[in-house]
Structure 1
Amino acid sequence: MVLDASKAHTLDALSGRERAVAKKFASGMTYREIGKALFIAPATVRTHLAAIYEKLGVRNKIGLAAHFADSGAPPKALPPLSDASPVLAIFPIECLNSEERWRRLADGLSSDITVHLAHYAGLPVIAFHTMKSLGSKPADFAADGKALGVTYIVSGRLHAYDRRVRLTIELADARNCVSLWSERYDRPVEDFFALQDSLTESITNVLIGSHGTLATVGRNAVRRKPPASLRAYDCYLLAVEQHTTFSRAGNAEAIRLFLRALELDPTFANAWAELAYAYSIEACNGFGDDVSTSIENWRTAVENALRLDPTDSCAYACLVNLRACLGDLEGAEHAHRRAFEYGFNHAGILPLLAGSRALVVGDPSEAIPLIERAMRLNPLAPPWYFGMQGRVLFAAGRHSEALAALHRSVPESPDVLMFLALAHAAVGGIGEAARTAVRLKAEFPEFSVERFISAYPVTNPDALSAIRHAADVAKLG
């Protein structure tokens, strides 16, 4: 890591423990995760961060992250996503209950509203991962909104009691902190998902009135059917949490929990779509016993998701690679267009589409703007975004940049280790490529380059040639 002199001097003001806390927080870890990693209480983490912010002279997590950037260049302002469109940020709804299940539901509500609003073509929405990582308090909303370059911010509080949910919610103009709309809801727990839908509807309607450029696009068409029970939804949220580890154990647990959610409610479209994605990871990473079984399960889950919700961008993103696996490249291209149509403002879908564009149906040069847009919508991107960015840059022949991205990704994932070995080989780092290949073989003996090629699948001729050539150099089996 290279830092300019002023940053190095400022970081030197931190104690060893403060530096460890700051680096983990800047990388996207929560108070609880940092506390577990460093064997300290979450409250102690918060105390350390208060001191860190004061010593570094920063007011939010974006400013903190700039001190741990790979480059010594000064942090740049985020480019606007569109000259004509407003940009919305939804801060995590604060849960006033101590029980973990209500915290998950508050986060789930915030995340789902983010995803649903991103269906509207004129409304870029900052990804929920970034907003959760900020860990903002109400006093910081305006500063954080300004740092993200947003136009509107949504915040709220949730309190569950006696089988009822009380939620207060506010939409404000980030530029002048003027409240545009606020409401308090008091509903039975059973109406939780109806509440979610009415909130999304209300926020959209207020934005249409205040900005004047948004148009309704069929709310009922894009709204997923809510699950039949809170238990199904809770299993779904737990599964998503496991899924994003991209490890073999995490993926297996995610599949188990998605299947449990679907046992409780077989009509839960989002769970089918995420299950399809988990099976696709199982197929190309060698996590399952039989690749053909993984692909068949992948197909069943995609078909069920699209039957229940024909506008699900995650399901279409999964369908792209599935169609290619089955030899239907024209169908893969069609699915890619549909996924982009419904997921243009969905930061979590754009990296998947970038990977498919680079390796399956398109050209790496077309993939780079997709991953860049994802990172503008999610400036505190989770590690797996960098894995996708790394494979896109590798396919584009930008090997040194690919290495930098891959080193920020998930080392427990075999496809990341494979691309690390390939990128090292491509820049002449034969020794490092060989060491990475040995680690890949030891940790994931079922994985192979050819399995990844056939099950991802890699059908772009230039990408296929580049992967196989670098694999030969790196001595990857």
Structure 2
Amino acid sequence: MPPIAPAAAPSLLDKPSIAVLPFTNMSGDPEQEYFVDGMVEDIITALSRFNQLFVIARNSTFTYKGRAVDVRQVAKELGVRYVLEGGVRKSGSRLRITGQMIDAATGAHLWADRFDGALDDVFDLQDKVTSSVVGAIEPTMRKAEVERARRKPVENLDAYDLYLRALSHLYAMRPDENLLGIGLLDKAVEIEPTYAPALAHAPWCYEQRNTRGWASASADDAETAVALARRALAAGSDDAVAVVLAGFVLIMVARDHRAGLDAVRRALERNRGSGFVNGMAGAALVFAGDPRDALARIERAMALGPLDPSFYMYLMVAGWSHLFSGRPAEAVELAERSAALNPDWDSIYWGLIPAYVQLDRLPEARTALIKYLSLAPGTTVSGLRQLLPIRNQASLEMVLDGLRKAGLPD
């Protein structure tokens, strides 16, 4: 039968779109069809929880089942930018599942992986594959979309493109880059005042400035951050990324733990399969005084998104969780891994230095302090006491005491 006609245009703001094609059963065992089809349905369902993503429904993609297809033609017929395809092969009591994501416009393979498991626990394998595939697709597609936005002429940029262009500046965690991100997000909000992704990422920019003592980018960065966060919650109640970012900002800037944690929980309920949502939830929880739950969330984020550009942040959130739980050795290991990925992120060092001090590694603590002060000149113990939004007073004092012992002036 002919394929179903393409769906309507994904959205006014041109969401990235994907079709998950039926995986090919290469095992020669008809009994594996239920497993193969069920896994694809689970992937479609999980991807559909990403509010910023347009996912073609199963009824459309399954019209291609059992047919040799050209990925570019399928993408054209279904009106999507990306296609996920794969296959399942059986060997004895083992299954091998392969998957690959393709940019339909260029034919480039953006991601590919394989998964092996035993036939005696196919549902556990199905869950593992689904979470791994979805966790990999989120940052891979985000990176591809950012590159696509960079290639567009400046005069053709819409709110979505401006938001995408802002992301690399936001993830850089540097004051000059941060200002560029704010400018792009301000333009996005000006074009589309209720666009939740831009409304939520803009307050994160201001939070970065407010909690580090960077020069103000507005009349009152804290007030601006909180106002934008509340607007994001109003505009994007179904967007897990927007909700978790707004909750994070309310905790970090407004110190409104009740509203912030409520937003974080709602984001997790909306999409537990997002590495980014888990990562920001972990960051919110560790500052809100719950390092145990923070560690669970951040470990989930790292498992889901090993390719995520935020991975260096995930490592440090895990480091803070261990530090606040009395495990400085684990904190040092994670902080050093974070620094290896982004040595210029200043927040690494206020966690690493106290951990070194607790392990009686003062020479390393002092070396790390030199690096910290090169990134954040003029930092003092009293200044950090005002800037660091650590809810647990004992944890805050432990951090400040370690920095003081390493030589940070009062």
| Residues 1:308 and 2:240 are matched in the alignment | no
1:335 alignment partner, one of 263, 274, 282: 263
* C-alpha RMSD of the superposition: 4.3
Cross-structure match for 2:83:
169
Residue aligning to 2:366: 434
Q: Quote the Cα distance in structure 1 between the aligned partners of 2:74 and 2:163.
A: 21
Q: Name the structure 1 match of 2:9.
A: none
Q: Which runs of no fewer than 5 residues in structure 1 stay unpaired? A: 1-83, 91-111, 121-154, 187-210, 215-228
Contact between 1:351 and 1:374, CA under 8 Å: does it hold in 2?
A: yes
In structure 1, C-alpha distance between the alignment counterparts of 2:89 and 2:212, rounded to whole Å: 45
Q: 2: CA distance between counterparts of 1:115 and 1:345?
A: 9
Structure 2 alignment gaps of length 5 or more: 1-37, 56-69, 91-95, 106-125, 131-155
1:240 matched residue in structure 2: 167
What does 1:108-123 correspond to in 2, within 5 Å? Answer: 115-116=50-51
Tell me how far apart the structure 1 counterparts of residues 191 and 173 of structure 2 sit (CA, whole Å): 25
Superposition pairs of residues 409-448 of structure 1, within 5 angstroms? 409=338, 410-448=342-380
Task: Summarize the Cα distance change of 1:85–1:405 in structure 2 as closer, same or farther, 3 Å threshold.
Answer: farther
Report if the CA contact (8 A) 1:305-1:315 is conserved. Answer: yes
Q: Secondary structure in 1 aligned to 2:83?
A: strand
Matches within 5 A, 1:365-380: 365-380=292-307
> Which of the numbers 312, 320, 325 marks the counterpart of 1:383?
312
2:197 is matched by which residue type in structure 1? N
Give the match's secondary structure for 1:285: coil
Q: TM-score, normalised by structure 2?
A: 0.60
Equivalents in 2 of 1:325, 1:166: separation in Å?
39
Q: Which residue of 1 aligns with 2:182?
A: 255
CA distance in structure 2 between the aligned counterparts of 1:292 and 1:448, rounded to whole angstroms: 24
Q: For the residues of structure 1 that align with 2:54 and 2:269, how far apart are their CA atoms?
A: 9
Paired-residue identity, % = 23
1:271 shift after superposition: 0.7
Tell me if structure 1 keeps the 8 A contact 2:226–2:254: no
* Aligned ranges 1:48-197 → 2 under 5 Å: 115-116=50-51, 167=81, 169-173=83-87
Whether the 8 Å contact between 1:359 and 1:464 is mirrored in structure 2 is no
- Provide the residue aligned with 2:331 in structure 1: 402
Cα 1:259–1:424 shift into 2, 3 Å: same
Change over 3 Å in CA distance of 1:156–1:373 after alignment to 2: farther
Letter in 2 for 1:169: V
Give the CA deviation at 1:320. 4.0
- Structure 2 counterpart of 1:94: none
Paired position in structure 1 for 2:6 = none
* Deviation by residue 1:145-187 (Cα, 9 ceiling, x = unmatched): xxxxxxxxxx9659999xxx7757344455679999x9x999x
Change (3 A) 1:260 1:352: same
Q: Deviations over 1:322-348 (max 9, x none)?
A: 246435333333233223223422101
SS at match of 2:211: helix
Secondary structure of the residue aligned to 1:471 is helix
1:270 corresponds to 2:197: yes
Query: Contact conserved, 1:276 with 1:315, CA < 8 A, in 2?
Result: no
8 Å CA contact retained: 2:49, 2:270: no
SS at match of 1:350: helix
SS in 1 for 2:269: helix
Structure 1 residues 119, 238: closer, same or farther in 2, change over 3 A?
closer
Distance 2:89 2:386 in 1: 50
Letter in 2 for 1:435: T
| 1:286 and 2:209 correspond | no
Written as runs of structure 1 = structure 2, the 5 A alignment for 1:323-362 is: 323=251, 325-360=253-288, 362=289
Say if 1:365 and 1:314 are closer, same or farther in 2 by CA, change over 3 A: same
Q: Are the counterparts in 1 of residues 282 and 297 from structure 2 also a CA contact under 8 Å?
A: yes
Query: How far off its partner does 1:464 sit?
Result: 1.7
Q: Matches of 1:390 and 1:351 in 2, distance apart?
A: 13
1:325–1:455 CA contact under 8 A, matched in 2: no
Q: Work out the number of aligned pairs and report it.
A: 296
Q: Which amino acid aligns with 1:438?
A: I
Q: Is the 8 A contact 2:218 2:224 kept in 1?
A: no
Distance across 1 between alignment mates of 2:73 and 2:320: 40
Name the aligned partner's letter for residue 386 of structure 1: L
Give the TM-score, by structure 1 length: 0.53
Distance apart, 1:455 and its partner CA:
4.2
Partner of 1:296: 223
- Aligned mates of 2:54, 2:396 — CA distance in 1: 33
Aligned equivalents of 1:173, 1:400: Cα separation in 2: 43
Alpha-carbon offset, residue 239 of structure 1: 0.5
Measured in 2, the distance between the counterparts of 1:369 and 1:472 equals: 30
Give distance in 1, aligned partners of 2:300 and 2:332.
20
Q: 1:417 to 1:264 in 2, by over 3 A?
A: same
* Residues 314 and 349 in structure 1, CA contact (< 8 A), matched pair in contact too: yes
Taking structure 1 as reference, are residues 434 and 304 closer, same or farther at Cα in structure 2, changes over 3 Å only? same
Matched residue SS, 1:169: strand
Preserved contact between residue 390 and residue 405 of structure 1 (Cα < 8 Å): yes
- Contact 1:159 1:167 (8 Å CA) reproduced: no
Which residue does the alignment assign to 1:469?
A: 401
In structure 2, C-alpha distance between the alignment counterparts of 1:86 and 1:159, rounded to whole Å: 17
* 1:265–1:287 Cα change, 3 Å: same
The residue type paired with residue 351 of structure 2 is: F
Tell me the CA shift for residue 282 of structure 1.
1.4
Counterpart-to-counterpart distance in 2, 1:324 and 1:243: 17
After superposition, give the CA deviation of every residue in 1:196-220 in whole Å (9 maximum; x if it has no partner).
xxxxxxxxxxxxxxx99x9xxxxxx
